């Protein structure tokens, strides 16, 4: 498990899930370091589901989006992950951000959007 003031990342063995919870807005290393920890967990637990709790989500800065698209998503695919779940309220104040990421993620992964962790699992 990893925890910082910005995010918490943990592997939940009973569900074969890497859960990444954003606590508050993060950019650059404060954003990338927790994401890299989640990536390492996904590499260690092949075939696991990546679930991002974005209820405390935020707009990413351009550099983090570019890093995510050029580095993180290709590495996530290499790690063997095939499903990405987003936990979000029905209406989110970051819909544009989620749409941007979803369009890119859907090129290589199954995307599930739900309002709770349990709902993500039920849709898997």
The 10s digit of each residue's pLDDT in 34-60 is 999 999 999 999 999 999 999 997 788
**For the chain, which residues make up each domain, given as ranges?**
2-123
- Angstrom distance (rounded) from CA 3 to CA 118: 22
- Angstrom distance (rounded) from CA 37 to CA 9: 7
pLDDT, tens digit, for every residue of 108-122? 999 999 999 999 999
Q: Which CATH class is domain 2-123?
A: alpha beta
DSSP run (H or E) holding 51: strand 49-53
Q: Does residue 8 carry a pLDDT above 90?
A: yes
Read off the pTM: 0.94
- Angstrom distance (rounded) from CA 4 to CA 121: 25
pLDDT, tens digit, for every residue of 71-105? 999 999 999 999 999 999 887 777 788 888 989 99
3-state secondary structure of 54: coil
- Angstrom distance (rounded) from CA 58 to CA 74: 22
52 forms beta bridges with 20, 86
pLDDT for the residue 82: 97
């Amino acid at each position: 498990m990893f925890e910082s003031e910005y995010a918490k990342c943990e592997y939940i063995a009973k569900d074969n899930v890497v859960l990444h919870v954003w606590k508050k807005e993060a950019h650059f290393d404060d954003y990338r370091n927790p994401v890299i920890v989640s990536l390492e967990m996904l590499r260690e637990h092949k075939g696991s589901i990546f679930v991002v709790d974005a209820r405390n989500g935020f707009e990413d800065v351009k550099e983090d989006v570019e890093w995510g698209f050029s580095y993180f998503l290709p590495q996530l695919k290499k790690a063997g992950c095939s499903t990405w779940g987003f936990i979000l309220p029905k209406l989110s104040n970051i819909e544009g951000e989620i749409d941007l990421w979803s369009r890119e993620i859907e090129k290589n992964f199954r995307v599930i959007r739900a309002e709770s962790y349990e709902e993500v699992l039920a849709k898997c």
